[in-house]
Each structure stands twice: as structure tokens, then as C-alpha cells.
Chains A and B, each alone.
Chain A
Amino acid sequence: MNSAFLAAENLVKTYTSRRGPFSTATAVRAVDRVSLSLARATTLGIVGESGSGKSTTGRLVLGLEQPTEGTVSFDGNRMPQEKTNEWRGLRARMQLVYQDPLAALDRRLTVGVQIGEPLQIHAMGSAEERKARVAELMKAVGLRADQAERYPHELSGGQRQRVVIARAIACNPELLVCDEAVSALDVSIQAQVVNLLRDLQEERGIAMIFISHDLKVVRNISDRVAVMYLGRIVEEASSDEIFRRPLHPYTQALVSSVPVAGTALKQRIILQGEPPNPAARPTGCAFHPRCRHAIARCRSETPELLSIETGRSVACHLMGSAPITEASGRTM
């Protein structure tokens, strides 16, 4: 397995925020020591609630933002400095699919022009070839040829999302980061877009990072899944494993909320307490105020992300001794 295709080492992104003109700036760690690696033709799902640093992680690995600490390497090379020519050239090989397609599209240009724009920017092919390529792309994402003359506002949400995807794959990128790419779509279109992305991956061998808060979709599309909580990865495993046997208490809570067809949602774990605030990170394990299994050590000591089985790592103090089971959860 060529695991070094995309590798992120100990990424940290700190934002400073200031409440008022006289208060001192507080540093917010949006992403805290995140390491990822991704092989060609595989998909990594990143899940977590709002503010967990999923999108920032996506932007960091694409080089759209500079990490405060840590490095990103793409295909064996270090990510170049932002907005240099080298960085611009690399954009042809990695693309981002946006959450909000209406905001990501220029409302004054027809979608055909916009789909062909990456080709124009990276000077790929003649005008004729580009036109043919746009037609091909539109067909690939399931848009009609006559819709090339439409403006973004004249299309439906699902069609706009396809336009954004068509634009993202125009240059045959090797890495695609989908940031909540289907969250705004209704379920039937979600399935279409997910299938489209899967087909594209099979056809072209794209490495994909799929960021979402929707576990059903992530489960459907990902080979591996990383769960993030307050800027950290708390659990990482293959998609099947993590949904079949979640180990981290937070993952357990997330997975228990996904309905399974044919069974009643009975063992639902409802999380207590406040949603996390990155500006006021709890001491020790960030999840301890909401964790049912928290012990004294969780309050004082931050758990490291440790590999517990092959291809599976968890950041939880309870993992070292005995795995948390539903039974032990209920006795507490």
C-alpha cells in the first residue's frame, strides 16, 4: 500500500480571537496534533460535530491554510508555500468540493465556463479540447449538455453540487477533499452524488477525504474513518470496524445514533453536558465532561492516540486496561 501519498504529521492550527478591544487575545486550537495518511484510490472519512476541526483539517492538508505546526506532504513532497506558482500548479492535482455550491460558484458566469475554468487556468488543451472536456465532465456528473449555458442560480441545489464536483475533477486531480459535500442535499440526491463520487474514484483512482457529520454517508463511502473531537482525532479505524465495534465512548455515542434498518433504536447513548467549546478546552481528555466512563485520570491527563490493534487507534485511558463494553457502561 502506498501510504505516503498524502501524509500529515502532527498538524496544529491555532487561531487567535479577541473578544473586545481591551481584552487579551485568546488562542484557539482548532486542530491539535492531527496526523493522517491516505493511500491512492482510498477514502478517509472524517466525522465529528461542528467545531471539531474537520474542515480546518481538510483545508490544512490541501495547503489552503498554513499549519501553525506540523507538516503536510503530498506524493512525497512537502506542501509549498501558499500562493506561490508552485502551489498554484499543485492545485491541478488536488481539489476541494465545497459545502455550499451557490457560494462557491460565480453567479455571473455560466456553469459551462466555470467547469472549464481549471483547464483554462492550468492551460490544459486547446479551446476546442477544453470544450469537449467540459461536455464530457458534464455527462460524467449527470448534467445535460444544454445546462452549460445556465447560470448557477438557474440550477437546483443538487445540480449545482454536481457543477462544483465537475469543476473539481476537471483537471483529473489525484486528491479530492469533500467538505460536507452532500450535507445540504436531500437524501435521494445525496445518494446520487455519493455514487457519483464512488464511480469517479473507481475510474480514476482518486484519493479522497470525505468530511461530514453524517455518519450514514461516511460509512457508505469511506474505507477508513477518523473521529474528531475538539480538534483531535479520538479514534481511527477501518469503516467496517468502527461502525461494528466503536471503542471510544464518543464514537460509541455517535454510532449509536445511526438508525439501522429493521431494528429499533434502543441502545441510544445520549450525550450529556455542553457541546464543546474550543476556546475553553477541558483539562485532560477533552471529552471527559460528557463521558459516562470518565475516571479521575481523564480529568488530569490527556490521552494519546495509541494503536491498540493493527490499523486501529484510539485516544482513551480506558483502552489500555479493558475495552469498554455496553455492559460495563450500564453498571457505572
Chain B
Amino acid sequence: MTDTPFAPGTVTTEKSGQERLPSLVVIALLWIAAMIIIAFTADFIRPYDITAFDLKNRLAPPGNAAHLLGTDELGRDVLSRLIESIRISLLIAFGSTLISAFVGTFLGFLAAHFRGIVEQVVLMLADFQAALPFLILSLAVLAFFGNSVLLLTCLMGFYGWERYARITRGLAISANAQGYAAAVTQLGAKPSRIYLRHILPNIASTLIVSMTLTFPEIILLESSLSFLGLGVQPPMTSLGNMVGYGREYLTTAPWIMLAPALIIMFTTLSISILGDWLRDQLDPTIR
């Protein structure tokens, strides 16, 4: 702890610093807000249908009168496809991140609470998950069950859960052994109260940072799967899918690939910045 809460000078400077957001965070917030708005209003703001061909204007460069971001090899509007891709990719990434955080945290709490055989099983599953190349697992599942956006989201929800489970288990065990959780147990609290009201808020900062790490990974994973042809299927489109198809025209029409690639980069960067800032905000001892 570096802050000295009793020195009046520091308190006032901290207060004013606390009210103004860092400009980087503002930019990140605006970017994510824009992405979310685009995802929700995709149907209305999209200038063309994603499968509408403009055969006379194939591979038109950006700045074309009819197509702001140009067109692809079939004359489809890149901007329209980009908007639709943002919606699909965000849906999958947010959904999967939440599923994996929920599953991992829950299993971690189970392991910490029951110990013994339950803990061993959870740890075994976590090791199994960590040892198995996730891409191979996804390929197997998608090859057998075909694919839909829902299946893809659920499948990728299993990506990275073992990290949350391990973090949660370790932190919950140490909290239970000494300190605040033991004190609340001693007050007569039920386990649900101890875990949800005390341990979860205390370890949330670590979990949020972990989420901001998983989120970009899931976007990239979805991109890899789509790139391999097992993710989002054409004519549907996602950011990774666009990068995959655009690759073939990298030298002649780089805008097809660069537009989604830049979106991936800025979104993951914004999430990381936001997560970092959020972690500090959630911790009253740092403020």
C-alpha cells in the first residue's frame, strides 16, 4: 500500500484523479461502445445485404462511390460484411468468455469447498483441458456435430475455463484457510454467502484480468476456426472468416483482409485496456 489515507493533500489529489478517466480508457470505452452499437444495429446500418453481388464492381478499392470500403472478389460490399462480422464475432466472443468464466469459477469454488475427490476430479479435468490442443478438440466436435453459431459459442465457452478454475480454487482455498473467509465462516455464514459475497468480489479483479486475456484469444480462435473452414460457414461471415478469405487477395486487394484485421486488433486492445483499468477501480485499496 503506497497511499496514505490520512494525509489530506494526497486525498484531494486522488479524488480529482479518480473523477477524470484516463484518455486511453475513454478511447477504449468509446471503441467498445461503438462495436456494441454496431453489433445491435447491424441490420439497419448495413448499406447492402451481405450476399448482394455487384459483379461490375468486383475488387473495387475503398473510396468507391457505391462501396465505402470497397468490394471483394464477388463484388460484395466489404463494409456491409464487416458490420455483420462484428456482430457475429462479438456475440461468439462475449458469449464464450462469459461461459468459460462462469464454468471455471464454479468448478474452482466446488473444488475449494469440497476438497478431496471433487477437487481431484476438477484438477484432472483442468489438466486434461490444458494438455489437449483446443483446436483439435474443436475440429473434432465441429466435424461430428456440424456447426451453428450457438454450438460454436458453447464450444468456445470451454476454452480457457481451466485457468479460471485453477485461479479460483487457489485463491478460495487460501481465503478459507485464514483471513476474512474464515472470519465470516466463524460468524455462522452459509457457504453460498461466503463464496458469492466475500470471496468472489475479492478475487474478481484477478478473474477480470483473466477474462480480458481470454477474450482476444477467443476472437483469434474463432478466426482460426473460420479460417480453416470449420467456424462460421459462408455465406455467413465473421471477422476471422473475412481474414481467411481475404488472404488470397492480399496482394491485389488488401482492404478485404485489413479491415477485419484492424477491427480485431482494436477491439482486443480496447478490452485489455479496459480490463486493466477496471481491475484498479474494483479494488478499494488501490484507489
Contact = CB atoms under 8 A, between A and B. Distances in A.
Check if A and B associate.
yes
Interface of A: 62, 64, 83, 87-92, 95-96, 98, 103-109, 117-118, 121-122, 151, 153-154, 167
A88 B187 CA distance: 8
A153 B285 contact: yes
Interface string B28-40: 0000000000000
A228 B180 CA distance: 28
B57 interface: no
A91 B188 contact: yes
B284 A91 contact: no
A91 B187 CA distance: 6
Nearest to A155: B5
Given A108-B202, A153-B1, A153-B284, 19 more contacts: A83-B185, A88-B190, A89-B188, A91-B187, A96-B186, A104-B182, A106-B184, A106-B202, A107-B180, A107-B202, A107-B284, A108-B284, A117-B184, A117-B187, A117-B189, A121-B189, A121-B193, A151-B284, A154-B5
B60 to A, nearest CB: 55
B46 to A, nearest CB: 44
B198 interface: yes
Given A151-B285, A153-B1, A104 B183 contact: yes
Interface in B201-234: 201-202
Given A151-B285, A153-B5, A154-B5, A104 B188 contact: no
B186 A64 contact: yes
Contacts of A96: 186
A69 to B, nearest CB: 23
A108 B284 CA distance: 6
Interface string B167-187: 000000000001110111111
A105 B202 contact: no
A56 B146 CA distance: 60
A254 to B, nearest CB: 28
Contact of A108 (B184, B189, B193, B201): B201
Contact of A91 (B180, B186, B193): B186
B117 to A, nearest CB: 18
A62 B188 CA distance: 12
Contacts of B180: 103-107
Contacts of A95: 186-187
A121 B187 contact: yes
Interface in B231-287: 283-285
Nearest to B190: A88
Contacts of B190: 88, 121
A105 B285 CA distance: 13
Contact of B179 (A103, A117, A122): A103
Nearest to A103: B179
A78 B114 CA distance: 26
Given A105-B183, A107-B284, A122 B188 contact: yes
13 contacts: A83-B185, A91-B186, A91-B188, A95-B187, A105-B180, A106-B180, A106-B202, A107-B284, A108-B201, A117-B187, A121-B189, A122-B188, A151-B285
A118 B187 contact: yes
